[in-house]
Amino acid sequence: MCGMPQQPPVRSSAPRPSRPDASMSLLTNVMDHSLDDGYAEAAARKKAEDDGGMPKTVRAKLGLAAGLVLAALVVTVGAANARIAAPVVAKERQELIDRIEHETTAADKLESSVDTLRADVSARQREALKKSGGGEQADLVSILSGATDVHGPGVKLVVNDAKEASTGGDGDPRETSGFSDTGRVRDRDMQRVVNGLWESGAEAIAINGQRLTALSAIRAAGDAILVDNKPLVPPYTVLAVGDGKRLSTRFQNSADGLYLHALQDNFGIRTGISVEDDVRLSAAPSVIVRTAQPSTEKGTS
């Protein structure tokens, strides 16, 4: 079968659209509508709210200015109050100083009066003893009761805490549970020292200047050692009047001397004893006897 001859395809002479123009149109559309509609609405709403009030920068500046004004006001008021209160504080301080000085002066006068009365009492006691038993007996009783100053040969015994007891830290014996058995000198230690000296032949004893009598008490109040209610601080210097060499030897060989030596070896308590040519002890406060009464009854044969 014969057919019509095929004709070549017809080519259009019209120009095709340019691809770069389409790309530019797409980019322009993306730039013009970069935000989603929801974001755009939110941004518009926030802008409307901001436009309805004070501009943000101005509000911040006003807030800063208000804060500075308030701070300046507080400082000014504080300075003014300080200037007003300064004379009052100075006056109160001076009044307190004057009161302390006045009370100190009064205490010194009372102490002087006590010393005068003590000397008067001692003199009256000696006078009474002279009438009843003679002068020598009166002097002996005064010495034994601690009512008069004494001096003579004797010993000097110094007892001090261990070095660790004053340096602090983890090794401080004061911080340990067995506080009473560590490097701190206790009241019971001084009791044994004094009793050992009496037993070894001491005729008069004083600790840190506090004269001991038959009614003296050595005890503790917290961490302090008290002698007749007066606190002492280490080192504890014990002065004893007696036969120096014999007193030193007998004490060191006694049970109480060995006890003190054991404290030195086991807990580091520092001790030292020396023989003195002349030991001087001041008189003790007057001994007030409230219970004992002299017996007037004669013994029956």
- Is the pLDDT at 178 greater than 80? The verdict is no
Residues contacting 85, CB < 8 A, separation 6+ = none
Please tell me the pTM assigned to this model.
0.55
C-beta separation of 229 from 235 below 8 A: no
pLDDT digits (tens, 9 = 90+) for 68-86: 888 888 888 887 777 777 7
What angle is formed at CA 209 by the lines to CA 204 and CA 214, rounded to 5 degrees? 40
**pLDDT per residue as tens digits for the range 183-232:** 889 999 999 999 999 999 999 999 999 999 888 889 998 878 999 888 89
Name residue 155's beta-bridge partners: 240, 275
Chain position carrying tokens 């580091």 = 268
> Among all chains, which residue has been given the structure tokens 């730039």?
31
Report d(CA 286, CA 114) in Å as an integer.
Answer: 10
d(CA 107, CA 117): 15
What digits encode the pLDDT tens for the residues 238-249?
999 999 999 999
* CA atoms of 206 and 240, how far apart (whole Å): 7
